[in-house]
Structure 1
Amino acid sequence: MTTYQTLLYYCYTPIADAEEFASDHLNFCKSLGLTGRIIVAGEGLNGTVSGTAEACSVYMETLHADQRFAGIDFKIDDVAEPSFVKMHCRYKSEIVHSGLRDPRIIDPNRQTGKHLEPADFMAMKDNDDVVVLDVRSNYEHSLGKFKNAVTLDIENFRDFPAMINELAQYKDKKILTYCTGGIKCEKASALLLHEGFKDVYQLHGGIIKYGKEAGGKDFEGKCYVFDNRLAVDVNSVNPAIISVCRNCGTVTAKMINCGNPECNEHFTQCDACGNELEGCCSSECRQHPRKRPYDGTGYYVKVPQPVNLVKKAAKLSVPQNS
């Protein structure tokens, strides 16, 4: 029986010729038969890849053999099947988009919050002088979060910097930041320090590592993940479901994307409403002419658009300047 794994990881490290590296790395991943999504930037790597246990082992060994990536902490999940359909490796300006590119403000290789291992995070999180801060987006913390955590009303991580003023009330507290795998905390904690917060920590390895090493104690609900699983269980100690169906309010942990591709909103929806609305967030989206067929999962693979041969031929026929 073939066994599969899904690897979640990131690494802040300078990568020269990052755009060329992304192209070469894509070919390497495809040669191993991996599927997944990797972002490459001059500041490092951010990826989730999935494949056979053997292919994942080769992938990890190869990256660890490169001095730039020797310190990567891979979070490994055993899965019944690959967690992606295709392999993407793209070059971008940041490996997690914050909108802040000035290294004098944010440079995780220079300054971040103190890294806490899961056991240390668990020991500190309920102290009176501590604030546990979720730096993820709304759709993520609505599905699951640490008990009593402070959450932010943000649609994307790039909205985090604008929320600093709302956090000023906690400047005399110890701030324990957390996210899915740790990557957002690197920049969030760096920004907090830059803005005058004195005692800032971050959960090393994020929610995923906390679940594996500390049993996920006091993480309520499920953890949103960026692959076709959409959500994974974390808490094996005192689990609870905190999310509700957007449409009827029934308790549910099922996270989907709206079937209307022009909406594509992430939200929780029970099976009954999913069937009634065909995986859409509203009746309006259900009536949209481009609505995707609902198969009960609410997960949709991006389908490449066909090449416009007429437009391509016209472009090629334009005479070039000599």
Structure 2
Amino acid sequence: MQAIDTLNSGDISASPSGEPYINLSGYRFIQLDYLPVLQADLHQALAETGVLGTILLADEGINVALAGTRPECDAARAVLDADERFRDLWLKESTSELRPFSKLKVRIRHEIIAFDGAEARTRQLQRPEAPALPPETVAQWLDEERDFTLLDTRNVYEVESGTFEQAEHLDIAHFRDYQRAVTQALEDGSLDPSKPIVTFCTGGIRCEKAAPWMIEQGFSEVYQIEGGILNYFERTGGKHWNGDCFVFDDRVEVDRQLQPTGATWCTSCQLTIQPGQHCVCQSPVQSEA
């Protein structure tokens, strides 16, 4: 589908005021229609604020990842609040010295996160909700060594950047493989549908699809971490976490203080390259995830 993109002549740069950039990320599942009109209106209004980043629109809702100065981000919030469907949208904030986007893009997709394919138009909004656990509760459960499954719903290259000490993952290359991997895990007994399961991902959007779907499949008790890993970092300091967190922008990775680690990304190998290291394929290292 058509995307509306705007190049930034300065590309990725430091804030002219010297203050850190604000990074905003969030989503909302809600029935949307007339997407090309909404796409054009949002692009025009957001372009006037000066923010850069990506908005994904689909019949099932909106996914937001933007960055700018504080005034730019405040103006972008006002744009979203002007539409009652997006009013008071929860947007996670973090800061960075460089703006991690070089364009403003508003795109129309079949799904705001790939999962259901052709059935996406109706499936997500019809599923039961899976309760969200506050990060502090998850940390407490881990402190108490409760018997539950902590399930990483992310792709394998994200897991390699860091995950919970006690987490299990499904070794998937893409989130659209999640349903197949869970079905296989049920067949081979590596997932117990009678045990409480807490799912997690970067910002929560994948768990909004994964956890309700698992309830449909007969799992008796499924939760998601409220706000994902980034919110967990902010609220708990990353307790029980090993490593860093992969993010889908030019920061590539953030640490438990939500600061960029300096890692880069090789688009040839699909590997994260740590500072001071070289890509195994010897391709020019690119920082655009």
TM range (shorter): 0.7 to 0.9
Q: Does the alignment pair 1:111 with 2:128?
A: yes
Q: Does the alignment pair 1:90 with 2:90?
A: no
**Within 5 A, what are the aligned runs for 1:1-322?**
1-3=17-19, 4-102=21-119, 106-108=123-125, 110-125=127-142, 127-168=145-186, 169-234=191-256, 255-258=263-266, 263-269=268-274, 271=276, 273-274=277-278, 280-282=279-281, 286=282, 292=284, 294=285, 298-300=286-288
**Which is greater in Rg?**
1
What is the TM-score with the length of structure 1 in the denominator?
0.75
The Cα of 1:195 is off from its aligned counterpart by: 0.7
Where 1:267 maps in the other structure, the secondary structure is: strand
The Cα of 1:268 is off from its aligned counterpart by: 3.6
By relative contact order (CA 8 Å, sep 6+), the higher-ranking structure is 2
What is the TM-score with the length of structure 2 in the denominator?
0.84
The Cα of 1:146 is off from its aligned counterpart by: 1.0
Q: Aligned pair in 2 of structure 1 residues 157, 255: CA closer, same or farther (>3 Å)?
A: farther
Unaligned stretches of 5+ in structure 2? 1-16
Percent of paired sites with the same residue: 30
The Cα of 1:211 is off from its aligned counterpart by: 0.9
Letter in 1 for 2:217: E
Letter in 2 for 1:256: T
Where 2:183 maps in the other structure, the secondary structure is: helix
Conservation of the 8 A alpha-carbon contact between 1:84 and 1:227: yes
**Which has the higher mean CA deviation after the structures are superposed, 23-32 or 179-188?**
23-32
Write out per-residue CA displacement over residues 270-310 of structure 1, whole angstroms, 9 at most, x where no aligned residue. Answer: 52x41xxxxx332xxx3xxxx54x5xxx3149xxxxxxxxx
Q: Aligned pair in 2 of structure 1 residues 174, 127: CA closer, same or farther (>3 Å)?
A: farther
Q: Aligned pair in 2 of structure 1 residues 254, 160: CA closer, same or farther (>3 Å)?
A: farther
Rounded to whole Å, the distance in 1 between the matches of 2:128 and 2:263 is 35
The Cα of 1:33 is off from its aligned counterpart by: 0.9
Q: Aligned pair in 2 of structure 1 residues 226, 267: CA closer, same or farther (>3 Å)?
A: same
Rounded to whole Å, the distance in 2 between the matches of 1:57 and 1:38 is 16
Write out per-residue CA displacement over residues 94-126 of structure 1, whole angstroms, 9 at most, x where no aligned residue. Answer: 000113453698425642311111112222245
Rounded to whole Å, the distance in 1 between the matches of 2:41 and 2:111 is 18
Rounded to whole Å, the distance in 1 between the matches of 2:160 and 2:150 is 16
Q: Aligned pair in 2 of structure 1 residues 152, 235: CA closer, same or farther (>3 Å)?
A: farther
Unaligned stretches of 5+ in structure 1? 237-252, 275-279, 302-322
CA RMSD of aligned residues (A): 2.3
